[in-house]
A and B are shown apart, each in its own frame.
Chain A
Amino acid sequence: MKRLIAGLFCLLVFTAGSGFADELKDASDRLQPLTERIAKISAGKAADYSKSQLATAQETLGAVKAAIAAKNGPLALQKAELVDLQLTIAEAKGAEMEAAEQLVLRRAELKKLEAQFDQLLQTGGK
């Protein structure tokens, strides 16, 4: 009976340990793509519009590394998930600002054309 209980306990510890190990591996696997993504966004135009988001993502990536070093799989995975979302926000902010910039440019172009049109109308009969 004691052996059975000890066996069950070992199995439980092993299962829990392997679960943590899986999470740690998942988090470690995510590190490289996330680092590359940060570099890619930082090199792109979106970096001009989302500096703070990128800095936060960089900080959170540091937290992922710390959690991996501390062998805290669940925390590492959560932080990796967070970095992923922060980078998505950085990209989205970049796209948002670019869209806003485009809108401003188009409006300016329209205003210029309207002025040209008015001028043409005024000088039309002369």
Chain B
Amino acid sequence: MTRMYLFVLIMVSVICSGSLAFAADKIDYPAKIAAAKTGIEELAAKVGNYPQALTEIDKARASLKKAEQGYDKGRQWMGLGGLKPEAEQEIAHNLQMVDMALVLTGSRAATGRAGEETAAVDKQLTLMKARVKQLEERKQSEDKLRQDLQKCETASKELTTIKADQAKLSAQLEQVAAEKKKLETQNLVLADEKAALAAQIEALKKASTAPAAAAQTPQTTTPPAAK
């Protein structure tokens, strides 16, 4: 009986040591699954609220669940002898899918972040465009005002010159008017003198015609006397 127990003990030890040696050669899937789980949760915590990224996180979780289920189903009797080859393949595949889903999550999050930042920059751009336009319009209106001011200054100078000319002309006009008045007065005086002279001439004419008539009358009577 003791031999029988000893034999069973030896057999169990051989199986266990064989199993352990076999397991040592194999990949440590529980550790890999745990690492994948940690990786998912760490990324989920810092990925931000981007729907597409969160969808990929869910897909990663689903793949991880498949890997866990595959591990649970694929374990051979009491965990001895490691995993079935097809289960190992499935677990490795699902873990790879988890890794890739995480890469995709990172990419989706980066796209989301870039999209958000672009939207924010777009807002700033719109604002800045409006400001620049406003400033340009103001500058244009200032330029126009400056040009108008320049025109006004030129016109003002011209006006001053014209006023000076006008003043000069007014003075000349006054002088001419005064001379005209003087000439008119002289003209009147001369007209009076002319009238007086004309009267004298008439008087003289009359005076010269009266003695001649008187002398003509005796001459007509004289010839008979001479006879």
Instruction: State the A residues within 8 Å of B (CB).
Output: 74-75, 78, 81-82, 85-86, 88-89, 92-93, 95-96, 99-100, 102-103, 106-107, 109-110, 113-114, 116-117, 120-121, 123-124
Contacts and interface: CB of A to CB of B under 8 A. Distances in A.
Contacts of A88: 104
A122 B136 CA distance: 12
Interface of B: 86, 89-90, 93, 96-97, 100-101, 103-104, 107-108, 110-111, 114-115, 117-118, 121-122, 124-125, 128-129, 131-132, 135-136, 138-139, 142
Per DSSP, chain B at the interface is helix
B111 A103 contact: no
What are the 6 closest A-B residue pairs judged by CB atoms, nearest first? A99-B114, A92-B107, A106-B121, A120-B135, A78-B93, A113-B128
A96 B114 contact: yes
Given A78-B93, A88-B104, A113-B129, A102 B86 contact: no
Nearest to B99: A85
Given A110-B128, A117-B128, A103 B121 contact: yes
A97 B110 CA distance: 9
B132 A117 contact: yes
Contacts, number: 78
Per DSSP, chain A at the interface is helix
Contacts of B90: 74, 78
Nearest to B125: A110
Contact of B118 (A86, A102, A116): A102
6 contacts: A82-B100, A88-B104, A93-B107, A99-B110, A106-B121, A110-B121
